[in-house]
Structures are given as structure tokens and as C-alpha cells.
């Protein structure tokens, strides 16, 4: 069943963005998280930050998970070696949500209760990160993926509200443990990650580190913001 899930019963995140001088009204920002899909690069869901302001009255979403997916094998090998290039890609909110719901993936919206200054500063940072000279980065599944830049930006623009509440708290599993469930439906991928990924991901992961997974980021935003 295709649906847009609005978890309004979750604690609303308290993020505030400073409005830019060019806008008469401060922007509103929401965290969008998507449920898992069937393809290998969709198994762990996805996330984006969406801004609605005077320049984008219907919303623009900043997606940190864009890459060249034309050769999945080459991209997958690049991800394992830590040499895959990903970049930030803005797209309309409507188009972003439609691209996931048409494949029967859940979409969750969390409006972020930010101050005008916080919201403006965050919106400016997102626009800056999408510029050609800033948008590319080297992908790491655990430490630099589609969700971790969002986590870092939200933390930065809320005075450390996420990190200070999660950096010392156990997530109850290692990074490897967190991804085993996602790979469970694909034995070849499960075996590959067991063999290819180093032992550094076997230590207990903090709640902060577990936010490399979009659903953990969604839960932390609901709990702490």
C-alpha cells in the first residue's frame, strides 16, 4: 500500500534555522526518511532534509545519496573500498516523495521545530553544500552516507542537541549487527559484508553512530529534538 506516513505523535524535533536576508519569512524544514526498498542500495532506507521558503514554496529536498548507479557492480566495489563518489542533489519535495511512494516505499515526514535563526542557517548550509564545488564526497557506509551529513547538520544547528544525548549511549549492537538485518534477505550480500568489512565495525556502536541508518536518525530526532 502506498502511503505517506506522518508520525505526528512523535516528539517534534526542535531545530531552528536563521532566515536569509533575501527571504521575508523564515524557512520551515523537515526531515524525510524513506523505508527500505528491494534493491541492494535501498535495503537500509534513505533520508533527506527538505526546505520550504519564499524561493521554494512547494519545498526542495536535499538528497546526499546521489551517485552513478548505471554500473551497480563498480559502485558496490567502490563503496567497499571507500572510493565511491556521491554527491548532494536538490529536487522538488513533490518529486522526491513521488519517486519513493511509486515503488511502494514508506515515507515519513518530521517537521523540525526550529527557531527562525536556526532554520535560516540550516537552509543556507544545505544550499551551500549543493554547490558544485562542495557537493561531492567519498562515501562510507557507516561514517559518511546519506544520513550522517543530515545528523551532523541537525546537531550543529541545534547546539549539539543530538550528540550530547547520544554520543555516550549504547545502541545495543555493533555497526555490523545493525546491518545484518538489512542483508538478511540477500545471503550473497550478507556473506560479502562479513568477509570484506574490517573488525573495526564489531565494537559496540553508540546511538550517535547508529544514526548512519535512516530509521535510527528518525527515532533520535523524535526523541531528542
Q: Is the pLDDT of residue 189 over 70?
A: no
Q: Is the dihedral of CA 77, 81, 83, 86 positive or negative?
A: positive
Report the chain's mean pLDDT, rounded to a whole number. 82
User: pLDDT > 70: what percent of the chain?
Assistant: 72
Looking at per-residue pLDDT, the higher value among 16 and 95 belongs to 95
User: Which residues pair with residue 50 across a beta bridge?
Assistant: 30, 61
The C-alpha atoms of residue 129 and residue 205 are separated, in whole angstroms, by: 28
For residue range 106-134, list pLDDT tens digits in order.
Answer: 999 999 999 999 999 999 999 999 999 99
DSSP string, 88-140: EEEEEHHHHHHHHHTTT--EEEEEE---HHHHHHHHHHHHHHTSTTTSEEE-B
Band (pLDDT 50/70/90 cuts) for residue 141 is confident
For residue range 18-46, list pLDDT tens digits in order.
Answer: 333 445 789 999 999 999 887 766 778 99
| pLDDT score for 68 | 65
Task: List, in order, residues 6 or more apart from 62 with CB less than 8 Å away.
Answer: 48, 49, 50, 51, 88, 89, 90, 126, 129, 130
| Cβ pair 32, 171 in contact under 8 A | no
The dihedral over CA atoms of 71, 76, 79, 81, expressed in degrees to the nearest 10, equals -110
Looking at per-residue pLDDT, the higher value among 49 and 79 belongs to 49
Q: Count H helices, E strands: the chain?
A: 9, 9
Q: Is the pLDDT of residue 17 over 90?
A: no
Mean pLDDT of 91-110: 95
Chain center to CA of 164: 19
For residue range 41-64, list pLDDT tens digits in order.
Answer: 677 899 999 999 999 999 999 999
Read off the DSSP letter of residue 70.
T
Band (pLDDT 50/70/90 cuts) for residue 67 is confident
| Cβ pair 145, 87 in contact under 8 A | no
Q: Is 82 left (phi over 0), alpha (psi -120 to 50) or beta?
A: left
| pLDDT score for 54 | 94
The C-alpha atoms of residue 96 and residue 32 are separated, in whole angstroms, by: 9
| pLDDT score for 21 | 45
| pLDDT score for 6 | 39
Q: Is the pLDDT of residue 195 over 60?
A: no
pTM: 0.80
Q: 162 φ, ψ to 5°?
A: -85, -50
Q: Is the pLDDT of residue 197 over 50?
A: yes
Amino acid at each position: 500500500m502506498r502511503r505517506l506516513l506522518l508520525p505526528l505523535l512523535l516528539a517534534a524535533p526542535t531545530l531552528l534555522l536563521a532566515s536569509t536576508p533575501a527571504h521575508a519569512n523564515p524557512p520551515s524544514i523537515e526531515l524525510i526518511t524513506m523505508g527500505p526498498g528491494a534493491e541492494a542500495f535501498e535495503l537500509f532506507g534513505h533520508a533527506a532534509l527538505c526546505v520550504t521558503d519564499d524561493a521554494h514554496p512547494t519545498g526542495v529536498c536535499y538528497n546526499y545519496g546521489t551517485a552513478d548507479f548505471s554500473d551497480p557492480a563498480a559502485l558496490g566495489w567502490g563503496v567497499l573500498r571507500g572510493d565511491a563518489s556521491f554527491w548532494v542533489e536538490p529536487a522538488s519535495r513533490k518529486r522526491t516523495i513521488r519517486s519513493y511512494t511509486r515503488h511502494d516505499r514508506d515515507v515519513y515526514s518530521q517537521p523540525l521545530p526550529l527557531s527562525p535563526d536556526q532554520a535560516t542557517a540550516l537552509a543556507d548550509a544545505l544550499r551551500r553544500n549543493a554547490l558544485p564545488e562542495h557537493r561531492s564526497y567519498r562515501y562510507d557506509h557507516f561514517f559518511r552516507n546519506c544520513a550522517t551529513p543530515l545528523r551532523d547538520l541537525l546537531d550543529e544547528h541545534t547546539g549539539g542537541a543530538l550528540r550530547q544525548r547520544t554520543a555516550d549511549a549504547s545502541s545495543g549492537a555493533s555497526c555490523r549487527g545493525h546491518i545484518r538485518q538489512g542483508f538478511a534477505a540477500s545471503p550473497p550480500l550478507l556473506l560479502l559484508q562479513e568477509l570484506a568489512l574490517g573488525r573495526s565495525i564489531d565494537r559496540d556502536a553508540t546511538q550517535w553512530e547508529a544514526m548512519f541508518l535512516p530509521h535510527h536518525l528518525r527515532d533520535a530526532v523524535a526523541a531528542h529534538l
